[in-house]
A = this chain, B = another copy of it.
Amino acid sequence: MAAVPPPGAVRPGGRTARVREAVLQAAGDTLAEKGFSGLDLGDIARLADVGKTTVYRRWGTPGALAADLLKDMAETSLPRARNGSVAEDLRDNARLVVKTLTDPRQGRLFKALIAASLCDEEAARALHRFYAVRIEEWSGCVTDAIGRGELPSGADPRRVIAAVSAPLYYALLNTGEALDEAAADRAAAAALAAARAGAL
């Protein structure tokens, strides 16, 4: 059982890195444009101007490619808000989520990545990791609020942040309802009310 290193792991620099970058770029564009079911590795190779064999060897399946894209996305982080009040911080978070999900490219990309996570176990792990990172980044807002006495000390920071996003994703995925600023503000207010009541 000699551990066979996956292709690209031994000499990850130079050309290998350039290939990965070009492929992930093409994958993001294609996912945003055609969705997960339109992610064909042959197309990606042509679009990234890379050998078809290379794409099949390094990624193998659309799911694995989506998973790698998610790993890449999890590394670039956005700074959270620091308004000095939870109400405003949560509202900013909700509006950011809505802005992302309604953006023509980002919204379609996120849908496609969720689809990927539902079709591929590896992509699912990468997606969960991605959201864990994003939630962690914003949970400081809640920790600070507890410190300021704005929220009960029993409140779970990650659950509060998750509670803000949840209804927005539910609208996106399940009901298909419109995502606008009013929806964002409602989501933030609901999460805040639940947190204040000690339900989170």
Contact = CB atoms under 8 A, between A and B. Distances in A.
A120 interface: yes
A79 B166 CA distance: 25
Interface in A4-56: 35-37
B173 A165 contact: no
Interface string A143-167: 0000000000000000100110111
A124 interface: yes
Contacts of A80: none
Interface of A is mostly: helix
Contacts of A117: 173
Contacts of A125: 176
A112 interface: yes
A169 interface: yes
Interface residues of A, number: 43
Given A115-B119, A118-B36, A186-B200, A165 B170 contact: yes
A37 B175 contact: no
Interface in A168-199: 169-171, 173-176, 186, 189-194, 196-197, 199
Interface of A: 35-37, 63, 111-112, 114-115, 117-120, 124-125, 127-128, 131-132, 135, 159, 162-163, 165-167, 169-171, 173-176, 186, 189-194, 196-197, 199-200
